[in-house]
Structure 1
Amino acid sequence: MNARLPTPDKDAIALLPPFERLNLDRIHLVSTGEQARQAQAQLATARAWGFDTESKPTFRVGEASDGPHILQLSTSERAWVFQLHDPECRAVAAELLARPGIVKAGFGLGDDRKRIVQKLGIEPEGILELNTVFHQRGYRKDMGVKGAVAVLFNQRFIKSKKAATSNWANERLTEAQLVYAANDAYAAIRVWQALGLAD
C-alpha cells in the first residue's frame, strides 16, 4: 500500500466520544498463587490476549528500574492485573508469557519485552506489536493506543497521567491504578480484534 494514511491529532481525538472501558467488576487483581492459577485457567481458553506491563517510575538520573511490577492480560470480556512481587504470581506470569500459540498484543512492547526477560527469566512467545500492523497498513505515524482507538472506533481512549506515573510497586494498588492498567490491555485486545487479526 503506497498511500500514507493520516492519524488523528490530539485536538481531533479530544472531540470524540469516550471509549467504553472495563469497570472494576470485570477487572481481577491477582496477588496470590491461588488467584494466579485461577486466572491462568480462565486465560488459557483464549486465542489472544491484550498485553502490557507497568513499572514503578524512576526519577533519578542513572536509577535503574527493577520492573515490571505489574503484568496486565486481557480478553475482550475481562482483564487480570498480576502483581509480580509474589513468587507464585511471578511463576504463573512467566508461564503464561512463555506459552506458545497465544498472541500477546499490545503497543510499545520493546521495553516491556526486555524487562520481562530480565525479571522473569523467560523469552515471551507470540508478542505482537500492534504499531507494526498499522505501519504495514499504511499509517505513517507511530500508533499508540489513543490513536488506534480513534482510528478504529472513532472514540477517545482516556488515560490518567496521575495513574501512569504512580508507584506500581505498591502492595496495595488503588482503584485508579487497576482501571488504568487493565484498560491498556483491554484496549489492545479490542484493537487486535478490530484489525481483523482474529480471522
Structure 2
Amino acid sequence: MSAPAVSRDDLAAELPLYPGLPLAQITLVLTEADLAAAGQSLLAADAIGFDSESKPTFRKGEVSTGPHLIQLATDDHAWLFPVSNAAAHPLLRSVLEAPGLLKVGFGLGNDRSVLKARLGITPQNLLDLGETLRGPAHHGTVGAKVAVAHFFGQRLQKSKKTGTSNWAARQLSERQLLYAANDAHVALLLYRAWLKTRQPGG
C-alpha cells in the first residue's frame, strides 16, 4: 500500500513558527518625531522591505480607495505610515522614489500602480521576490509562506481575518500592527537569505 499523500500544508504545520518582529520594534508613524526617526533609518539603508495594505472592498463594482497603510522595514525596525497622514507623503516619496535604495517585497505590481494613482508616487528600484524566487522553470509566483519555509525552515502564520480587516481605521489593533510590519520585514530578511545563496560557497 502506498503512503498517504502529504500536502505542503501538512509539512508546513510541522515547522516551528516564524517569530517576526515584536511590537517594540514597530512604529506607527504619526508625529514629527516619528517622521524624523523613520527618515533617518530608512534613507540610511541599502535595502528595505516594502508592502502596503488597503481596506477591502465587498460590494460589486466598489472601487478601492487604498492604499491606506504603507509599510517600510529596515533589518531591525518596521515603520508603518497611515496614508491619511499627509505630513508623511513627502518622506514616502523621497524613500520610494530613491533610485539607490532597493525596495523588496512580494506582489509589488499592484503597489506600484496604486501609489502612482493615489499619491503620485512612482516607486523606483523595486524587487518583487515573488517573481525573483520562482526561477525560470516555475509558473506563477512564490509567496512569503513558501519562501519562509524554504529559507528559514519556519512557518509564517498569516491571519486572513487580519489581512482583510479595516486598514483605514483611525486606530489599528496590535494584530494589525504585527501583521503589517512583518509583511514588509520578512521580505527584507528573505532577500538577505536569498543573496547569501547566490554568493560563492552560499
TM-score when normalising by structure 2: 0.89
- AA aligned to 1:104 is K
**Stretch moving more, 184-193 or 11-20:** 11-20
Contact (CA 8 Å) 1:32, 1:86: kept in 2 or not? no
Distance 1:76 1:127 in 2: 17
For 2:191, the equivalent position in structure 1 comes to 192
Moved over 6 A (4+): none
Q: Is the 8 A contact 2:29 2:80 kept in 1?
A: yes
Partner of residue 55, structure 2: 56
State the 1:52 CA deviation.
0.3
Q: How many residues align?
A: 192
Give the drift of 1:106.
0.5
Check the 8 A contact 1:52/1:73 in 2, yes or no.
Answer: yes
Matched residue, 2:164: 165
Amino acid in structure 2 at the alignment position of 1:81: L
Contact 1:31/1:84, CA 8 A, preserved across alignment? no
Q: Do the aligned residues in 2 keep the contact of 1:97 with 1:124 (CA within 8 Å)?
A: yes
Aligned to 1:102: 101
Show the counterpart of 1:92: 91
Greater Rg over alpha carbons, structure:
2
Q: Larger deviation: 181-190 or 136-145? A: 136-145
Structure 1: gaps (5+ residues): 1-7
Q: Which whole-Å deviations, capped at 9, do the CAs of 1:40-69 have from their partners, x for residues lacking one? A: 111111100011000000000111111101
Q: Deviations over 1:123-164 (max 9, x none)?
A: 100111002211236555521110100111111001111210
Measured at CA, do residues 14 and 107 of structure 1 come closer, stay the same or move farther in structure 2, by a change above 3 Å?
same
Give me the identity figure in percent.
Answer: 43
Structure 1 length normalisation: TM-score? Answer: 0.91
**Where do 1:107-118 residues align within 5 Å?**
107-118=106-117
Say if 2:39 is the partner of 1:22. Answer: no
Write out per-residue CA displacement over residues 30-49 of structure 1, whole angstroms, 9 at most, x where no aligned residue.
12344223201111111000
Aligned residue number for residue 4 of structure 2: none
| Correspondence for 1:9 | 8
Distance 2:26 2:138 in 1: 32
Output one character per residue of 1:91-149: Cα deviation in whole Å (capped at 9) or x when no partner: 22122111111111000111111111111102100111002211236555521110100
Unaligned runs of 5+ in 2: 1-6
Larger mean CA deviation between 167-176 and 92-101 belongs to 92-101
Q: Structure 2 CA distance, aligned partners of 1:40 and 1:137?
A: 37
Matched, 1:71 2:70: yes
Deviation at 1:22, TM superposition (A): 0.3
Find the counterpart in structure 1 of residue 36 from structure 2.
37
Tell me which residue corresponds to 1:5.
Answer: none
State how far apart, in whole Å, the 1-side matches of 2:145 and 2:29 are. 26
Aligned-partner Cα distance in 2 for 1:121–1:33: 22
CA RMSD, aligned part only? 1.7
SS in 2 for 1:60: coil
